[in-house]
Amino acid sequence: MPEKLKVGVIGAGRIAEMRHIPEYLSNRNVELVAIADIDKVQLEEMGKKFNITKLYIDYKEMLKKEKLDAVSVCTPNYLHAPITIDALNHGLHVLVEKPMATSLEEADKMIEAADKNKKILMVGHNQRLAPGHQIAKKIMESGMLGKVNMVRTVFGHAGPEFWSPRGKWFFNKKEAFAGVMADLGIHKVDLVRWLLGQEVKRVSAFKATLEKAGDVEDNGVAVMEFEGGTLGILQVSWTLKPGEDNSTIFYCEKGMLKLFAEPDKPVVVSLREKGDYMPNFARGDMSFSLPPMQTNEVGGQFSSGVIDYFVECVLENKKPFISGEEGRKSLEIVIAILKSAETGSVINLPLK
């Protein structure tokens, strides 16, 4: 194992600037060697901002010339699969942003390439690593809330143009493959199936383009039935005002778990035994104080934990719990949701 992990970042846009580059730079086990971006102006700006001197317009040249151990793939969605496969075949470990691919065929090829080359493939589903969601996982696993009957999860903000003014590709189906479902929906689908420990059995969904120009949806809702019987609602939007909504509520046999649903109380457990329907019989609320959720609004995405965890997995040669296979399952649900919205029918999973 090298003394320091030699890393490159491919796609030096907004998520690279806000998360991958600064988090690699602050990890003492990493040497961030080079970055690549087809946009020369952006590349040079990022090189200057972070004091990185090895800059590549062509990522293939970076892979050839630099002796790297790992890369982050932070390009528009349609490039995730080809670049990831290329990097894996060069013998590098890969952290790819979400959604990992634009089709299940692509996702399969990425997983195959990781297996064939015996390299780590991790997907940037950072919601799983948010401290509030890590605590939530422990609460769910403790069984204190009993069976989960329903879950409602929401992710919305004003739109990607406020996050990445250069990111016109978000609104272009060819490059993004879908709109807010691929951007935000996949985060929540991934989070909920991980927290529940259940896979989705079938979905029914609607989507609409209500305010944004482009050929992708900017709002969407989906109803999901999980294999353990839990029913779920997913609501995603790129047109929310005035602020972001990034909340999830589990309605359970013995109470409720609220995640980022109450101001100043990121995680709240409200325990009510069966029959405690009168306010006086309440068993009480527990709230956990935690570092704030990383949001676009609250100064960006600097401490997601995603980079440190990826580095740890590579250095300790362990499979991440946010693996390619996990990213594929979440992608499959988003594809099913889009298909349901497009056909007006209920879609069963797994997809054929």
Ligand X SMILES: NC(=O)c1ccc[n+]([C@@H]2O[C@H](COP(=O)([O-])OP(=O)(O)OC[C@H]3O[C@@H](n4cnc5c(N)ncnc54)[C@H](O)[C@@H]3O)[C@@H](O)[C@H]2O)c1
Is 171 among the residues that bind ligand X (CB under 6 A)?
Answer: no
In whole angstroms, how close is the CB of 246 to ligand X at the nearest point? Answer: 11
Residues numbered 25-44 forming contacts with ligand X, rule: CB under 6 A:
36-39, 42
Give the range of 159-167, 199-207, 230-238, 276-284 binding ligand X by CB under 6 A. Answer: 159-167
Say how many C-beta atoms besides its own lie within 10 A of residue 196's C-beta.
18
First to last CA, the chain: 41
Residue 34 structure tokens: 């080079």
79 contacts ligand X (rule: CB under 6 A):
yes
Choice between 124 and 156, CB closer to ligand X: 124
Evaluate whether 61 touches 38 at the Cβ level (below 8 Å).
Answer: no
Of 229-288, binders to ligand X (CB under 6 A) are: none
Joined tokens for residue 37: 């971006």
Give the interface segment with ligand X, choosing from 146-154, 164-172, 213-221, 336-344 (CB under 6 A). Answer: 164-172
Per-residue string for binding with ligand X, 299-318, x by CB under 6 A?
--------------------
14 binds ligand X (CB under 6 A): yes
One of 8, 22, 76, 156 touching ligand X (CB under 6 A)? 76
By CB under 6 A, residue 11 contacts ligand X: yes
Residue 226 vs 309, nearer CB to ligand X:
309
Pairing of the two strands 30-36 and 265-271: unpaired
AA identity, residue 229: G
Radius of gyration from C-alpha coordinates of the chain: 20
Question: What is the rounded CA–CA span in Å between residue 230 and residue 166?
Answer: 40
CA distance 75 to 73: 6
Position among 93, 98, 133, 193 found at the interface with ligand X (CB under 6 A): 98
Stretch of residues binding ligand X (CB under 6 A), selected from 147-155, 160-168, 198-206, 222-230: 160-168
Distances (CA, A) of 289 to 51, 131, 294: 36, 10, 15
Q: Which of 72, 117, 126, 230 binds ligand X (CB under 6 A)?
A: 126
- With contacts defined by CB under 6 A, how many residues of the chain interact with ligand X? 27
State the DSSP code for 212.
Answer: -
Quote the least distance from Cβ 57 to ligand X, whole Å.
8
Helix residue ranges, H only, 255-323: 306-315
Among 59, 78, 177, 309, binds ligand X (CB under 6 A): 59
Shortest Cβ 302–ligand X spacing (Å):
12
Using the contact rule CB under 6 A, the part of the chain among 76-84, 245-253, 272-280, 327-335 near ligand X is 76-84
Q: Are 33 and 66 in contact (CB under 8 A)?
A: yes
Torsion angle, alpha carbons of 231, 236, 240, 242, to 10: 60
77, 209, 246, 248: which one binds ligand X (CB under 6 A): 77
And the tokens for 61? 């040249």
Does position 218 interact with ligand X (CB under 6 A)? The reply is no
User: Please, what's the b/e burial string for 261-298 (b: 16 or more CB within 10 A of its CB; e: otherwise)?
Assistant: beeebbbbbbbbeeeeeeeeeeeeeeeeebeebbebbe
User: Taking CB positions, which residue lies at the least distance from ligand X?
Assistant: 13
Q: How many CB atoms lie within 10 A of CB 331?
A: 25
Q: Using CB under 6 A, which residues numbered 139 to 158 contact ligand X?
A: none
Question: In the complex, which residues of this chain contact ligand X (CB under 6 A)?
Answer: 10-16, 36-39, 42, 59, 74-77, 79, 97-98, 124, 126, 163-164, 166-167, 183
